[in-house]
Each structure stands twice: as C-alpha cells, then as structure tokens.
Amino acid sequence: MTGGDEVRILRAGDRAAVAWKNGGGVTREIAAWPEGASMADFGWRASLAEVAADGPFSAFPGVDRTLTLAEGAGMDLTVAGERRLVDERYAPQEFPGDAPTDCRLLGGPVVNFNVMYRRDRVRARTAVVRGTLALAVAEGETLLVVALRGPAELDTGAGPGVGDGDGDGRGTGIGTGAAGGQVLLGLYDAARISGPATCLLRTRGRAAVVTLAARPGR
C-alpha cells in the first residue's frame, strides 16, 4: 500500500452468528460504520447471511442493499410485489432494504454477501472480480475486499498500519507500522482499507470489492 492510513484484516473465523432481525436466519457481520453501531444506527454494514428456509427478509427503513449470491442454487425474491430471480453466483444485485421482500429458495440453503447502507448518508459500489486488479482508495473512502471463492492475495507494498482487526497484526505476519507486504485472505476473510491508498489484488477465484464513502455534508 502507498500512502494509506490503515489496512485491517478481518478473519472469517472471528465472526459470531447473530439471529436476523426477524428471526428467519443468521448473519455474520464483516464490518460496519460507525464501528460498534447496532442494526438500528449503522451508516453501512457488510455481512454474510445464511438463509436456510423460505420467508420474509427483515425491513430496514432508509436503507439500500446490494446482495451477492455466494453459495447455493439461489432465491426467487418478490421485492415490493415484483419478482427478482437471484440464481447467478457472484453477480451483485441492488434493491431497497425497506421494500417488503419475500424469499423462496430454489434448491436448499444459500449464503449471501450483503452490503447495506443508509441511502441519505452513504455511497456504496460493489463489484466482484477475478484475476489481478490495481485498487485505489481516495481520501475519505473505505475499501472492503472479501474473498468469496478461493483465496485472494492483497499486495500492500510499503506503508504503515497493516494488521489484524484488533490492530496488533496477529495472524497475518504483518504488524502495525511494518514495511508492508502480501496478505493472504482465505475464504470469507476480508481486508478493510482506509484511503488514500493503493494496493494490488490477485485472485483465481472471486473477490468482492466494495467502495464506501459518506455523502457530502454527512
């Protein structure tokens, strides 16, 4: 990484399963802003949701979603009365989180990568990539990289502030204030990068890249 404030590695094994707001499934939070925010007051939140049965999605007033199917055959959704078929893996789909949404599973349980954000406070863009990609994070932006299929390698180059989620670098071989280097992300591991920064992402599988920023005046 060049010039960035911080890279935090967020390991999948450190996440606890939490029941959905409506009790219909479980979610594992990857990252949120502000840190420590509850389901009622987050600005943005990224998570992995495990859906094991048909039923309604929780409603989140003022929130937009980007949902990406990561495991399973998919879902037949009805969003505000309109059908939305989600049967292609690694293809982000956007829809309002406050619209009534019912889910019918197409062939058993699924795992979804889910990004939710307050539409009046936050801008969010989600892409799923493979191969080698140079990433640039502008000042004031946050980049979230999540390995969705197979491992991903993040080349942080030279720069400060590379470590695990607790800031001490355990489990990565790279500590805060080190000279930088290559970080391996296993399945569903994530890296949270604060801008301004540049780095290089490599994956033979699939990785989600989410760019997040507060809207002007927020």
How confident is the model at residue 178, as a pLDDT? 33
Token pair of 190 as six digits? 């994530």
How confident is the model at residue 2, as a pLDDT? 44
Whole-model pTM?
A: 0.87
Per-residue model confidence as pLDDT tens digits over 23-72? 667 899 999 999 989 888 999 999 999 998 899 998 999 999 999 999 99
Burial class (CB in 10 A: 0-12, 13-18, 19+), 71: middle
CB atoms within 10 A of CB 202: 15
Classify domain 15-118 by CATH number.
Answer: 2.60.120.10
User: What is the rounded CA–CA span in Å between residue 82 and residue 114?
Assistant: 20
Nearest to 75 by CA among 100, 109, 49, 114: 109
How confident is the model at residue 162, as a pLDDT? 44
Q: What is the mean pLDDT of residues 158-163?
A: 44
Averaged confidence pLDDT in the chain:
87
Judged by phi (left if over 0) then psi (alpha if -120 to 50, else beta), residue 123 lies in beta
Residue 167 has pLDDT above 60, yes or no: no
The domains of the chain are located at 6-12+122-214, 15-118
Q: Comparing 6-12+122-214 with 15-118, is the CATH topology the same?
A: yes
Residue 164 has pLDDT above 60, yes or no: no
How confident is the model at residue 143, as a pLDDT? 97
Classify domain 6-12+122-214 by CATH number.
Answer: 2.60.120.10
